Amino acid sequence: MDGPRVLLGVSGGIGAYKAAALARGLVTAGATVDVVLTRGAREFVGAATFEGITGRPVRGEVWEGVADATHVELARAADVLVVYPATAHTLARLANGLADDLLTTAALVHRGPLVLAPAMHTEMWEHPATTANVATLRDRGALVVGPATGPLMGVDAGPGRLAEPDEVLTAIAAITTGAGDLAGRRVLVTAGGTREPIDPVRYLGNRSSGRMGFALAAAARARGAEVVLITGPSALMTPPGVERVDVTTAREMDAAVTDRAGGQDVVLMAAAVADFRPDAAHATKLRRGDGPPTVTLVANPDVLAGVVARRGAAARPLVVGFAAETGDLEAGARRKLAEKGVDLLVANDVAAAGVGFDTEENAVLVLHRDGPVRAVPRAAKAAVATAILDEVVTALGDPGRVGTSG
């Protein structure tokens, strides 16, 4: 890492002592590091340690250096904000936009990447409130590293242990230098559902939230890729460093993908594209008094098929299709893998509770066209995205697996 400005927020968990090692690692890698200690953190570690390591003053209170607007200055100068450890309380404050100390006020000002390393007891980590707060932060584009499973404070052990400094250093380096196993790759991701207008206020749509595609875009960016995200209507925040293209209908998505897919190394099609649309949208709102309308549907373009057809026998882009299945997952996935001529197919059971459409979590099968299958168990969509990209990286490294479509 050479030269990024890192704002390191340390909150009050027992793992706060490891933040000194993280600060040391960042400085050694060439970063300029500003440290903010919350009141809780100061119960565990002292400012002198961090001042000695970073060679810069450590900030604590929003009331210090008021004339300099410290929270604004620190946040604007930072290329990345890292919270290590991030306690349950700090995650809740960040998720809710509270601004009751220097770290949280700076976080509201900061517009760049946010890396969070949660650490807490297992019950706190698994509490629905924490789950919802982490989901909110992920939806806004935060990269959550860990927690690991292992010894916690006292005699306890389990999920909730702070990720090791090296793991966080790798994540920060990928964000700030573009290093990572997708560095130099161009990745296109589609996300969300399309909307097919019936009249000016009604449309045919589906339940896709965009989370799976946004998680893929964020994960690919964090691994160093140059990422373009083509999405149907979604309230999710664009992951930092990702170029976003908004579309509404399947035909708009087809045009945007056609425009961009040629120059990509990888195309990941997580969008739920409507297969059919009303043959014509009414120019004025349909009135109840006119009786139930008859809506005739016509076929939309198959965006994925277009990408595969235009690629022909070329080796790139590597094409990853998704399959939303409701029956036998593996059988449906194998059929779609053959039909669509893709290199990888990611299948999810969209009838199962808690996964698939409009959920925080997913569980998928990743099928390679030459046979291997990886089952990714139920986990946050960010973790599932990481597992899918691991398979993409494997396929990219094996040229025999691409360019033989048909």
- Which positions lie near ligand PMT, rule CB under 6 A? 192, 208-212, 250, 269-273, 275, 300, 302-304, 321-324, 348, 350, 356-358
Query: Measured from the CB of residue 147, what is the shortest distance to ligand PMT in angstroms?
Result: 23
Query: Measured from the CB of residue 33, what is the shortest distance to ligand PMT in angstroms?
Result: 35
Residue 258 Cα distances to 122, 160, 385, angstroms? 46, 44, 24
Q: Between 211 and 401, name the residue whose CB sits nearer to ligand PMT.
A: 211
Scanning the structure block, which residue is given the tokens 């399947």? 250
User: Using CA atoms, how far apart are residues 9 and 54, in angstroms rounded to an integer?
Assistant: 13
User: Using CA atoms, how far apart are residues 335 and 345, in angstroms rounded to an integer?
Assistant: 10
Q: Between 44 and 322, name the residue whose CB sits nearer to ligand PMT.
A: 322
206 labelled catalytic? yes
3-state secondary structure of 46: coil
Find the catalytic residue in 133, 206, 300, 348. Answer: 206
Contact 59, 86 (CB under 8 A): no
Query: Measured from the CB of residue 43, what is the shortest distance to ligand PMT in angstroms?
Result: 39
Contact 171, 81 (CB under 8 A): no
Contact 307, 262 (CB under 8 A): no
3-state secondary structure of 291: coil
Contact 182, 385 (CB under 8 A): no
**What DSSP state is assigned to residue 355?**
B
Q: Between 225 and 342, name the residue whose CB sits nearer to ligand PMT.
A: 342
Q: Between 188 and 272, name the residue whose CB sits nearer to ligand PMT.
A: 272
Q: Between 171 and 329, name the residue whose CB sits nearer to ligand PMT.
A: 329
Query: Measured from the CB of residue 389, what is the shortest distance to ligand PMT in angstroms?
Result: 14
Angle ∠(329,302,212) on CA atoms, nearest 5: 50
Query: Measured from the CB of residue 174, what is the shortest distance to ligand PMT in angstroms?
Result: 23
Torsion of CA 245, 250, 254, 257, to 10 degrees: 30
Q: Between 64 and 339, name the residue whose CB sits nearer to ligand PMT.
A: 339
Angle ∠(339,344,350) on CA atoms, nearest 5: 75
Q: Between 92 and 324, name the residue whose CB sits nearer to ligand PMT.
A: 324
Pure H helices in 33-164? 39-44, 47-54, 70-77, 88-96, 102-109, 122-126, 128-139
**What DSSP state is assigned to residue 185?**
-
Query: Measured from the CB of residue 358, what is the shortest distance to ligand PMT in angstroms?
Result: 4
Q: Closest Cα to residue 22, out of 116, 92, 88?
A: 116
Query: Measured from the CB of residue 264, what is the shortest distance to ligand PMT in angstroms?
Result: 15
Q: Catalytic residue positions? A: 206
